[in-house]
Structures are given as C-alpha cells and as structure tokens.
Amino acid sequence: MNIRHVPFDHPDAVKLNDQVQAEYHLRYGDGGDATALDASDFEPPKGVYLIAYDEDDHPVATGGWRSQNENGEGNEDGDAELKRMFVVEALRGRGLARRMLAALEDDARAAGRVRMVLETGTKQPEAIALYASSGYEPCVKFGYYREYEDSRCYAKPLQPGIAQ
C-alpha cells in the first residue's frame, strides 16, 4: 500500500468520498454526512488528506484530519478531527484502516496537535471496534452530530502526558 498526501478535492478523493457517502446512506438511510468540509481544511499544516493506493495504483483507502480548536461545538484547543476514514469493501479486514489511522495520527502529532478526535455512529460497529482497539476512548460529544442519539465520539491523546 502506497499512502500519498492529496488535496481533498483531488479526483481520487472525490471518487472515494462519493463511496463513503453512499455507505453512510445505506447504513443510516439519509443523505450522508452533512458535516461542512472545505478542501482548505485539509491543507498542511492545519490538516492533511491521505489516499492509499494498491499495487496497480487504484485508490483503496482514504482518511484525513483537520485542525479544530475550542469552538462551542465541543472541540478543545489542539484537536485534530479525523474525517472520511474509508476502505473499499473488497479490501476490508486487511489492516488498511489501521495503517491509515496510524499515518494520520503521526501526521497530526508532527503538526503539533495534542488530541485526535472523531465522530462515528452506532451503525458502524467495525469503525467503533477499530478505534477502541487503537486506544480511543469515549469523549464529550462534539461537532455537527453531537446531539444525535446514534452519534459516538472518541478521543486519543497524541502528545505524551495529555489527558483526554
């Protein structure tokens, strides 16, 4: 797997984001993730967007993080918010999501972010299992979906000595 930094509006990113939204629609029956995102959110040093490519140079996994600070929606200063983690269905269960997550954590840590946070939902048990097994713990709900019953928020310290 070859992980590359790409713009959020790169054609391969758009293709995988469309697949993410289709999956959200299947699982939740709505129009997908309504969280406002802008390509500039993922421009270093305030964020990054990654795509993993297979040996044939096909995009197979994606994920990004964007800087968040205290904003009245539950975020704290120094947060890196994980967004659009996704692996194409045919390649799930092979550790790609775990590798993508580690790459995103390393990048956010190098950028000086102190905590990685994410929001997922109860209809994504695979995601919840990945995050729990990667050291994420439930945290105060934040973001667009913070008042939704099915929403689950998790956090993991990125810097030594930082408590959740």
d(CA 43, CA 41): 6
> Using one digit for the tens of pLDDT, what is the confidence trace for 24-42?
899 988 767 778 899 999 9
Average confidence (pLDDT) over 64-87: 93
Percent of the chain clearing pLDDT 70 (strictly above): 96
Per-residue pLDDT of 97-133, as tens digits, reads: 999 999 999 999 999 999 999 999 999 999 999 999 9
Whether 143 has a pLDDT exceeding 90, the answer reads no
Domain at 2-115: CATH code: 3.40.630.30
Q: pTM for this structure?
A: 0.92
Strand positions, DSSP E, 24-74: 47-53, 59-68
Q: Are strands 79-87 and 115-121 parallel, antiparallel or unpaired?
A: parallel
CB 19 within 8 A of CB 88: yes
Give yes or no for a contact between 59 and 16, defined as CB atoms under 8 angstroms apart: yes
